[in-house]
Structure 1
């Protein structure tokens, strides 16, 4: 985070929320829906930057987004307060209802910090319902607020995305109808493969052996899968990841283990990342099967583990015709985010869970 960015976590400054005596209901609805509110006087300046910061289109046969902004007004606000993610963006000079909301609900210290250009982001957990987050974006005027959003899009997105991942993870790895996380399977994988990865209740170890350096986890209804593959890494390859190698390697694995699916190279995008201090890339694309005329979205990682001399591919994909793909692709990504190249550390954490 840039040094000039100030993030203030609100604990008690929202006066409309403080002092509620009755128990709060559980938040409802989708975790990828963001109920957003801006004043009409500032909408032309703020809506587009917020959509760029939050929505993030993903590679699917039908266009989808990681998050959907549902724009509201004072007539829909009461309903929005029942949902998981609420966002209000208004400058402290805005003459509209949301500008008044911000001025009314920031305490003196927070308000003075905004006036001085010190604070722009305020966050409150469970303001009207349990498992809910309220985010307020503000600034001295609408131009400054627009500039803040455009220069801090990653900060805004990660705040929302991290919250969503936390909530979905609780469901994904939690117990449902007597079934829970596959800890026995996780232990077996860590002991045999030398790395750790969490396995939700609905996933099975479908294919792969340690000798093949390949592990395939799969769930049905709808179908989604995660595979982990590794090959030896030497110092001359470190941090030198070729996209052509990725496509060639992934396609060859799918030819062996999954009916010849292949990546659509023209759809492949990537960015460089660090994952548990391992350098690598995160990629998104679409897969296709020419013979079956089917396809779906892909998200994955290539990671260089110089300590254990391994280069990993973590790859998640979905086949879910007729339904939204994003929720199931997120399941795959959360499984991959649980990956730990240190099997001993993974087993230690497993024993504590």
Structure 2
């Protein structure tokens, strides 16, 4: 029992290291087609009996939790359950990118268990049976660019308990791979160096601005607003700088104050007395500390709204401490997309904002 407890504890502490090199395999079958599928899609392979007897609820809790933070909830992954026979009957299901395989090894006649036993070594299967729970990763089993993450339990109880420990590493692993696809999508038109230089002139911060953005004409020496038109809306990036006064600026309240000042001064609609502000009444405003390209920063995620108008949407902010210049640099991205899903739009903005640097 102590060894099993240590196994669970190490999985939680080491994150992605639970997927050791010895637990990964790569199919040598060649040639294989290229994997495809929508960004942030996840397919869970499991027997229907296991799925209906507790696994479905666990998967929903761990892999369909809300993406932070959107006006209407959207999951971090779009999950679909399939069974092994679906893979045989619909060959295209073998050409997707991300799979999680759930196996209760006590069910020897289970199609999923048989698939896992065929895929993994006898030593790995025996280790799971001895320890109670284990993981493995396969790459390119049916198509190039795909991964299968195996979550296996000696029995159903061990499987579900192990999932509660392993899921943060699974989510991180899938998200990092999807992040690569989002970056390619974000910069498919290249980088607009000219706009990046204009932002740097006004704020002291460099950013890799993707093609497709235009600068909104604003009379200011220390504020820049960039906009990319989308279907029925826009993606927006703004940057500004303020003098560093004291540590209270690098707090949740300080970030709201700076962002609201920008919204009141520069962002309005055609209606009178309108301005943008943070709405932390209807939904929470999440703030965390981070390091952005070697600089201390606050990350804030929340909802914006227009005072005296009916517009709103999600935003993400980074407030960077530019110690060399004794100033704070705010880089912010917000989405205006009424009636549209916004998860991928926000992820695109995060890609850009995380290139921000003060040199």
Aligned residue for 2:319?
302
What is the TM-score with the length of structure 1 in the denominator? 0.81
Q: Residues of 2 paired with 1:224 and 1:254: CA distance?
A: 16
1:85 corresponds in structure 2 to 98
Contact 2:97 2:147 in 1 (8 A): yes
Give the structure-2-normalised TM-score.
0.79
Distance 1:183 1:323, change over 3 A: same
Offset of residue 192 of structure 1:
6.1
> Could you give the per-residue CA deviations for residues 291-323 of structure 1, whole angstroms, max 9, x where no partner exists?
331211222333445455443333221111232
Q: Quick check: 2:46–2:84 contact (8 Å CA) kept in 1? A: no
Comparing both structures, which one devotes a greater share of its residues to helix?
A: 2
Q: Distance in 1 between matches of 2:328 and 2:286?
A: 17
Alignment of 1:40-79 (within 5 A): 40-43=48-51, 44-58=53-67, 59-77=69-87, 78-79=91-92
Alpha-carbon distance, 1:208 to partner: 6.1
Deviations 1:258-288 (A, max 9, x none): 2112221121232524223544443322222
Quick check: 1:283 aligned with 2:300? Answer: yes
Larger radius of gyration: 2
Distance in structure 2 (CA, Å) of the matches to 1:74 and 1:8: 25
C-alpha RMSD of the superposition: 3.0
How many residues are matched? 331
8 Å contact kept, 1:205–1:217: yes
Residue of structure 2 in register with 1:195 after alignment: 205
Match of 2:188 in 1: 174
Task: State the Cα deviation string for residues 202-221 of structure 1 (Å, max 9, x = none).
Answer: 12233568842x33222101
Judge conservation of contact 1:225–1:316 (CA < 8 Å) in 2. Answer: yes
Q: Name 1:103's counterpart in structure 2.
A: 117
Distance 1:281 1:88, change over 3 A: farther
Deviation at 1:9, TM superposition (A): 4.6
- State the Cα distance separating 1:257 from its structure 2 match: 1.9
CA gap of 1:185–1:127, structure 2 versus 1, over 3 A, is farther
Which string of whole-angstrom CA distances, capped at 9 and with x for unpartnered residues, describes residues 54-102 of structure 1?
2231333333223211122234334332222222122433442222222
Q: 8 Å contact 1:138–1:145 — kept in the other structure?
A: yes
Give the gaps of 5 or more residues in structure 2. 1-11, 269-274
**Alignment match, 1:244:** 253
Is the aligned partner of 1:225 residue 2:241?
no
Residues 202, 224 of structure 2: 8 Å contact kept: no
Matched, 1:20 2:20: no
In 2: Cα distance, 1:120 partner to 1:11 partner? 9
Q: 1:37 aligns with which of 33, 45, 54?
A: 45
Contact 2:203 2:239 in 1 (8 A): no
Alpha carbons of 1:154 and 1:19: their partners in 2 closer, same or farther (altered >3 Å)? closer
CA contact (8 A) 1:6 1:119 kept: no
* Aligned residue among 299, 315, 336 for 1:319: 336
Q: Give secondary structure in 2 for the equivalent of 1:248.
A: helix
Shift of 1:158: 1.3
* Matched residue, 1:183: 193
Distance 1:305 1:133, change over 3 A: farther
